[in-house]
């Protein structure tokens, strides 16, 4: 059976940096309030909220270009694409086909994953299964988001809007039967749909009859239905429970322990969640990588962006045992354990 090896990684963020002080000019908030609750100091937004060129697919394309350079492969070498996002360019089609065109790939398959904060973990698990089965050899896995166009920058939306940023990360997974390389060792995926509306964006959605309400008066759609909503304390309590469970599950599946781990990269949802998990699992600071301080929560992009930056900074080297874990809307959660 083939093993899934990371051949290359890459990331990309828009140049426009938005600080907490910048947000304080749009809503009643300040740097101290945001930092205390989230750990975030700044995030990246595309320059124009209505930019038709710097889209989610474009950010993914730029991250994919960097991953391909890092892997010494070309777009023509790719067999398949898995694209994770909650903010696609269009409601349909998905971003996978758009990046296939941008990269100039052959007419390969492209699959979109809509699992929000857990999207990249789900996407990697799907790609890993394809490679292990022998179906594909080189798969591009992308996580990318443009959040800035769809946030409520009024006081009503500040508790959610200060958290999110734009960005993208990409990984090239390749098949290998090299006995000296382990690649992805174990994965697990979970969901609990009864909590779907604790963290969601209701529109557009067939459940709520949005087309009739948008197109006819006076049935106007309300702001709390258009913008993301989150029961923050509820999400936090579930996240700090599920994270340790999925981490221990993936370690046990591979016959590994926390002591074997070289680096833990959590989904960058909230620095306080990551710190809580670090303390609960008694992980030393040098074994946990966080960059939410600079980028905010980029949902499906957060793990590949952090993985790419950690490798770029020399925090992760070949042969290191790395755990990637996520929890988010759905609720969904899961982990991947791999030898880089």
**pLDDT tens-digit map of 64-95:** 999 999 999 999 999 999 999 999 999 999 99
pLDDT band at 217 (very low <50, low <70, confident <90, very high): low
Are residues 138 and 192 part of one domain? no
CATH number of 294's domain: 3.40.47.10
Residue 179, pLDDT score: 85
Give tens-digit pLDDT for 220-242.
777 777 888 899 999 999 999 99
Domain span at residue 158?
3-176
**Pairwise CA distance, residues 261 & 339, whole Å:** 10
Q: Which of 326, 338, 337 is nearest to 113 (CA)?
A: 326
Q: Are residues 165 and 297 in the same domain?
A: no
Asked whether residue 222 is assigned to any structural domain, the reply reads no
Q: With a cut of 90, say whether residue 19 has pLDDT above it.
A: yes
At residue 18, the pLDDT reads: 98
Same-domain pairing of 191 and 168: no
Residue 36 and residue 111 in one domain: yes
Lowest mean pLDDT among 49-53, 168-172, 230-234, 271-275: 49-53
Tally of domains in the chain: 2
On whether both 243 and 167 belong to a single domain, the answer is no
Residues 7 and 132 both lie in one domain: yes
Give residue 64's pLDDT.
98
Does 142 lie in the same domain as 96? Answer: yes
User: Hey, which residues are catalytic here?
Assistant: 117, 267, 297
Query: What pairing do the DSSP bridges indicate for beta strands 42-44 and 17-19?
Result: antiparallel
Same domain, 124 and 166: yes
- Cα Rg for the chain, rounded, in angstroms? 19
> Is 205 inside a domain boundary?
no
**Residue 134 and residue 74 in one domain:** yes
pLDDT above 80: residue 51: no
Q: Is 223 among the domain residues?
A: no
Report if residue 215 sits inside a domain. Answer: no
Lowest-pLDDT choice from 81-90, 162-171, 202-211: 202-211
Give domain status of residue 37, yes or no. yes
What was the pLDDT predicted at 201?
86
Do residue 28 and residue 171 come from a single domain? yes
Q: Are residues 91 and 27 in the same domain?
A: yes
Q: Which structure tokens are listed for 156?
A: 């009503």
Q: Are residues 137 and 193 in the same domain?
A: no
């Amino acid at each position: 059976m083939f093993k899934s090896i990371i051949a290359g990684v890459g990331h990309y963020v828009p140049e426009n940096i938005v600080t907490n002080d910048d947000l304080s000019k749009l809503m009643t908030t300040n740097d101290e309030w945001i930092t205390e609750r989230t750990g975030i100091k700044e995030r990246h937004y595309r320059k124009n909220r209505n930019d038709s060129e710097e889209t989610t697919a474009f950010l993914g394309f730029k991250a994919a270009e960097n991953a391909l350079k890092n892997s010494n492969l070309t777009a023509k070498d790719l067999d398949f694409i898995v694209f994770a996002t909650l903010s696609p360019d269009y409601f349909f089609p998905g971003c996978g086909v758009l990046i296939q065109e941008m990269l100039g790939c052959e007419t390969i398959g492209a699959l979109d994953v809509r699992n929000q904060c857990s999207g990249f973990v789900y996407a990697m698990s799907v790609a890993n299964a394809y490679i292990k089965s022998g179906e594909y050899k080189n798969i591009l896995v992308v996580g990318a988001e443009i959040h800035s166009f769809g946030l409520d920058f009024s006081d009503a939306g500040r508790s959610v809007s200060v958290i999110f940023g734009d960005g993208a990360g990409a990984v090239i997974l390749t098949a290998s039967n090299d006995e000296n390389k382990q690649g992805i060792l174990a994965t697990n995926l979970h969901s609990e749909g009864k909590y779907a509306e604790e963290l969601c964006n209701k529109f557009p959605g067939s459940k709520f009859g949005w087309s009739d309400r948008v197109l006819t008066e006076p049935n106007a759609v309300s702001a709390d239905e258009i913008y993301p909503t989150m029961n923050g304390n509820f999400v936090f309590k579930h996240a700090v429970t599920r994270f340790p469970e999925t981490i221990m599950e993936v370690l046990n599946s591979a016959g590994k322990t926390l002591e074997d781990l070289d680096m833990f990269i959590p989904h960058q949802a909230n620095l306080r969640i990551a710190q809580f998990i670090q303390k609960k699992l008694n992980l030393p600071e040098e074994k946990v990588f966080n960059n939410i301080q600079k980028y905010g929560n980029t949902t499906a992009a957060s793990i590949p962006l952090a993985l790419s930056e950690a490798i770029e900074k020399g925090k992760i080297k070949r042969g290191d045992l790395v755990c990637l874990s996520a929890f988010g809307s759905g609720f969904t959660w899961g982990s991947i354990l791999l030898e880089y």
